[in-house]
Amino acid sequence: MKTRILGLAAVLMMVASLASWFAYRALSADIIERWGQQVAEIQVRYDSARLLQSLEREIGLAKQMASSLVLLNFAKTPDAPDLQASAIEEMESFRENFRDNSYFVALRENGHYYYNNSENEFAGKQLRYALDPEDPDDAWFYQLLDEGRDFHLNVNPDTELGVTKLWIDVLMRDSEGKPVGIVGTGLNLDDFLQDIVDIGQEGITTLFVDYNGAIQLYRDRNYIDFASIIKPEGQKNTVDLLFDEPEDKQKILGMLQLLKKRDEAGQVESGFVTVDGHEQLAGVAFLPTIGWFEITLLDLNALLPNSFLWPLLAVFFVALILTLVLFHVIIQSKILKPITTLEKAVEKVRDGSFELPRLDKPDNEIGRLSHHFEQMVDTLGNTTRELENKVNRRTEELNRLARIDTLTGLKNRRGLDEAMEEEIQRAERQGTGFGVIWLDVDHFKAFNDELGHQIGDQILCRVALWLKAGIRPYDHPGRWGGDEFVVILSPCDSRTLKTIANRIQQMVEQESEKTGTPVTASVGAYLAQPGDTSDTILRRADSALYEAKRRGRNRVCISTPEDEEIKPL
């Protein structure tokens, strides 16, 4: 039973714990989602700010460069040597200010491309080459001029220069607003990725995509969509490549569309997506100043690893075991042990004993039940004992009454039989005899017939009284039946027997005289010997009585063992 109760308690606790666990998981997932969304939004703004901060100065300088009158004049008449000299001087002064210490200037008029880097490698030969409208590598230039976009960021390897850079391209326009060239600077892509994107924050991935969703800055260079500007739609490495599920791709592209439509800085969208089999929270922001989107992916499992739940589980299991142990101790002491002792007590009572073992009585229903049971058994024991005593008394009384003659109060025939048997055995043991007197009222029938039965009864009662008065207290007087009385005298010898027999016979005669109804009695006596049977003794006494009757009544006749055998009556 204990095992079953403990098992049931464990199961109930597990069920309750599981329910709590699921509730906790649902609640914590909700909290984590809200928290994650806020973190994602903060992270997106932070990452955007970092990117813009590092680019703003460069973009400002590039724009300043694009509006330089010296360069604009040069772009209009690129072949004028004096203008070229002052233009190169102007370019070099910008080179010193750009963070990368590099610049480029590309002119529409003649396709000349000027460039110098931080090592001042091309001093005096800043004109690097002429752009070719037919060369795919130079397509970016003609595309930007065609599109007429004033500002553009472009990640592109320059095969001529052998560098991969994040290019800041700014359109030069003449006084009529006509594009005359593109100037700008480049930032080393690796340094930039390391500073802005690959920042080593575990569980946080930052990437930037352009206006069309093409990946521009990402820690894995294989995903970067180099020279996006010249690629047709469909061939670009767009952001949806990162996601496993088609619905996630749709979700992200939907966010980009939404933010693009709003066209406001500081707006953030977020949602759950799956990347490399991990559920991540994506935060997306639009950066209108550069026309890019910033996407931050938060791996919640990395940020909030499941391992933080281990202490919780450990606490749960320790609590479970402690609770079961406590439960066991309480059940054992408060329920099972008291029930076991109570069961033993019930078995004892069932087997007829009222001596109870000490019962455990805890302060609960079982304790009260044990207490009531104890009181009940106590009462039951007392009642049973009283009942037994009463029955014993009644039985004794009945036994006594069964041996008493109701009319005279002397022993009846059964009582005399028992007394006789005792005397026979005693005689056997001690080797001494005992006396038996058999008395019969003479002509008693006549008293009955003439005076009535009641008087007859009175006479019998008087005879009984005289009989008792004539013998010793330890002799046994009895009424054999009708008007016949038997007295057993013990111990006795022949002289005593003779004396008492005569005394009785005379007493009846003399005492009855005084009552006005004189009666006489015939008495036969026999001195029983060790070895005599009850039958022999009674027949001997009876034959003596018969002899007394035969000789004329109102006399005593004593039979001795030497007499001839007496024939049956």
Ligand X SMILES: Nc1nc2c(ncn2[C@@H]2O[C@H](COP(=O)(O)OP(=O)(O)OP(=O)(O)O)[C@@H](O)[C@H]2O)c(=O)[nH]1
Write out the residues near ligand X by the rule CB under 6 A.
407, 440-446, 448, 453, 456-457, 460, 482-483, 549
CB of 480 to ligand X, least distance (A): 11
Q: State the CB neighbour count (10 A cutoff) for residue 229.
A: 23
Closer residue to ligand X in complex, CB, 400/453? 453
CB of 450 to ligand X, least distance (A): 11
Closer residue to ligand X in complex, CB, 174/457? 457
Closer residue to ligand X in complex, CB, 443/498? 443
Closer residue to ligand X in complex, CB, 127/461? 461
Task: Name the token pair of 81.
Answer: 């040597």
CB of 530 to ligand X, least distance (A): 32
Closer residue to ligand X in complex, CB, 54/448? 448
Q: Minimal CB distance to ligand X: which residue?
A: 456
Q: What residue type is 322 in one-letter code?
A: L
Answer whether 410's CB lies under 8 Å from 404's CB: yes
Task: Name the token pair of 443.
Answer: 């002509």
CB of 521 to ligand X, least distance (A): 9
Answer whether 461's CB lies under 8 Å from 565's CB: no
Q: State the CB neighbour count (10 A cutoff) for residue 420.
A: 21
b/e 129-149 (16+ beta carbons within 10 angstroms → b): eebeeeeeebbbbbbbbeeeb
CB of 509 to ligand X, least distance (A): 14
The CA angle 293-298-302, to the nearest 5 degrees, is: 155
CB of 461 to ligand X, least distance (A): 10
Closer residue to ligand X in complex, CB, 62/441? 441
Task: Name the token pair of 189.
Answer: 């892509």
Residues belonging to the chain: 569
CB of 559 to ligand X, least distance (A): 18
Closer residue to ligand X in complex, CB, 372/445? 445
Answer whether 465's CB lies under 8 Å from 459's CB: no
Closer residue to ligand X in complex, CB, 534/554? 554
CB of 423 to ligand X, least distance (A): 26
Q: What residue type is 310 in one-letter code?
A: W
CB of 353 to ligand X, least distance (A): 50
Alpha-carbon span 415 to 477, nearest angstrom:
10
Task: Name the token pair of 513.
Answer: 């005289």
CB of 567 to ligand X, least distance (A): 18
Q: Is 418 helix (H, G, I), strand (E, B) or coil?
A: helix
365-402 vs 337-350: helix axis angle to the nearest 10?
10
Closer residue to ligand X in complex, CB, 280/522? 522
- Identify which of 477, 490, 498 has the alpha carbon closest to the alpha carbon of residue 433: 490
Alpha-carbon span 156 to 171, nearest angstrom:
17
Closer residue to ligand X in complex, CB, 334/443? 443
Q: Is 464 helix (H, G, I), strand (E, B) or coil?
A: helix
Alpha-carbon span 333 to 517, nearest angstrom:
87
CB of 417 to ligand X, least distance (A): 19
Closer residue to ligand X in complex, CB, 94/438? 438
CB of 388 to ligand X, least distance (A): 37
Element (DSSP H or E) covering residue 112:
strand 112-116
- Identify which of 175, 258, 166, 260 has the alpha carbon closest to the alpha carbon of residue 211: 260
CB of 542 to ligand X, least distance (A): 12
Closer residue to ligand X in complex, CB, 63/549? 549
- Look up tokens 């575990």; give the residue: 202
User: Rounded to whole angstroms, what are the CA distances from 181 to 160, 169, 232?
Assistant: 19, 10, 23
Tell me the backbone φ, ψ of residue 235, rounded to 5 degrees.
-105, 5
- Identify which of 332, 479, 414, 351 has the alpha carbon closest to the alpha carbon of residue 1: 332
User: Residues 6 or more apart from 459 whose CB is under 8 A from it?
Assistant: 441, 444, 447, 512, 517, 519
Closer residue to ligand X in complex, CB, 117/458? 458
Alpha-carbon span 143 to 290, nearest angstrom:
18
Q: Is 328 helix (H, G, I), strand (E, B) or coil?
A: helix
